[in-house]
Amino acid sequence: MPNVTRFHDDDGKTDWLLAQARAHGGLAPVDLERFWADQDIARADPFGDGIPQCALGALMSGECVYAELGIDEDYWRYARDDAWRIEVNTAYNDRAEGIVGRRLLSETPRRADLQYKDLRGLHDVFDAEQVWRDRSWWLMQVADTEDELKALLDRVEGRLGDLRSLLLPDDWDQQKARLTALGVEVPRYRNQRGPVTFAMSIYGVENLIFLIADNPPLAARFRDAILAAMLEIRRVMDAEAGYTPETAPRGFGFADDNCALLTPAMYELFGYPILKGMWDAFSPDPDDRRGQHSDSDMAHIVPILGRLDLTDTNFGPNVMCDWIRQHMPRAVIMGELAPFTFSRNDEEGIVREFLRDFGMTRESRGLLFTTAGSINNGSRLTGLRLIMSAIQHFGRFDE
């Protein structure tokens, strides 16, 4: 099973490109106007017969401002202080415009008066609290024993007949009337923390593994409750938006890093039926979105996921493009640049990983070159320009 980082002879391409960058003060050679024109074509359809070059997906993130601008990391302030976020993003974009030719981060105010407030989600159905720790929100464990899990499932199953009253705040009708009159759509339920990650947050990592191994019926009950709650959340939110099952926009995506912790047999019992259930209901046609992010070493479950005909993937950096393509011929592969290769500014690694991934997908196409996971602080604009240069020189289809 090909799930290790592999490189091929690049015929001196990496050395040449890095030498060119050094000769120009660290800026790799790119025709910026041509790159972005070609990028617009490639990004629209990474599988397209007429695309001139490989599509780029690593268009940076708000995490990248700190190292680039030489300021202290403050993720809480960035998330909460909108004026400061815009100030920082503007300074970042001024640099980006000079280095890569685009302003990459939003400079638009978030407008709190145009946000729906106090909506609840799947974790609320399962009595889980979200707590801010260090740099992000964490979902806190609810149950620790089988008896506690059974009691939790009793509560969850009792709620399934009226999730609307749990999901929507008391002033929902007033919020909805005001915001829809202003053109703000009701939020759509189209993405979810994946079933294994969610269940391990609720019940514990080791607990879920032992539950599946030792008590499959209870594990199946847990699985079925998650799926039933997700299906009902989708139904409620679509109805609030004025959709019927026939008119609702389709597609759904999962973010399930912890799927790597289950064996194929365990995943088949617990995770697979939830994905299949959601996609059978809401992504039944070939072009409906079926996406999975799992930036972990989960190559062993790729064959199982392949049966679900994914349309896009963002898997861990050791899950190779040729292995994904073997099992998912129609999926846009978002990857497979290792996030720390990028954030540590490993210029040789950046180029070599692009050459590797493009070489594996040149014939089939469908690569959207980006990080196999998040784009972390330390990822530099000069590194992004290096990727752009590698694409323009060595990732073209029309030459």
The residue behind tokens 């964490």 is 138
218 domain-assigned: no
**Residue whose C-alpha is closest to residue 342's, from 314, 317, 305:** 317
pLDDT of residue 11: 86
If you average pLDDT over residues 148-159, what whole number do you get? 98
Instruction: Kindly indicate the confidence band of residue 354, based on its pLDDT and cuts at 50, 70 and 90.
Output: very high
> Does 9 have pLDDT greater than 70?
no
How far is it, in rounded angstroms, from Cα 216 to Cα 221? 9
If you average pLDDT over residues 29-51, what whole number do you get? 97
Q: What is the DSSP letter of 12?
A: T
117 domain-assigned: no
Among 22-36, 133-147, 170-184, 246-260, whose mean pLDDT is lowest? 133-147
> Does 42 have pLDDT greater than 70?
yes
396 domain-assigned: yes
> Does 68 have pLDDT greater than 80?
yes
Mean per-residue pLDDT of the chain: 95
**Residue whose C-alpha is closest to residue 56's, from 360, 398, 364, 357:** 357
273 domain-assigned: no
Compute φ and ψ for 72, nearest 5 degrees.
-70, 145
Q: Which long-range contacts (CB under 8 A, 24 or more apart) does 6-10 make?
A: 6/320, 6/356, 7/352, 7/355, 7/356, 8/355, 8/356, 8/359, 10/351, 10/352, 10/355
Q: How many residues does the chain have?
A: 399
- H/E run at residue 195: helix 195-203
How far is it, in rounded angstroms, from Cα 282 to Cα 246? 10
Angle at 140 between CA 137 and CA 141, to 5 degrees: 155
The residue behind tokens 């479950």 is 301
Cα end-to-end distance, the chain, whole Å: 32
How far is it, in rounded angstroms, from Cα 145 to Cα 160? 23
> How many domains does the chain fold into?
1
Asked if residues 377 and 63 have their Cβ atoms less than 8 Å apart, the reply is yes
pLDDT of residue 7: 66
pLDDT of residue 136: 83
If you average pLDDT over residues 180-186, what whole number do you get? 96
pTM above 0.85, yes or no: yes
37 domain-assigned: yes
pLDDT of residue 134: 78
> Does 180 have pLDDT greater than 90?
yes
* Residue-wise pLDDT tens digits, 86-142: 999 999 999 999 999 999 999 999 999 999 999 999 999 999 999 988 778 899 999
Distance of CA 53 to the CA centre of its chain: 23
329 domain-assigned: yes
Task: Tell me the percentage of the chain whose pLDDT exceeds 90.
Answer: 94
User: Bridge-partner residues for 255, per DSSP?
Assistant: 193, 293
- H/E run at residue 68: helix 65-69
146 domain-assigned: no
Angle at 102 between CA 100 and CA 103, to 5 degrees: 120
* Residue-wise pLDDT tens digits, 295-337: 999 999 999 999 999 999 999 999 999 999 999 999 999 989 9
229 domain-assigned: no
Measured torsion, CA atoms of residues 74, 76, 79, 81, in degrees rounded to the nearest 10 = -80
**Residue whose C-alpha is closest to residue 82's, from 56, 59, 108:** 108
**Domain around 42:** 1-60+311-399
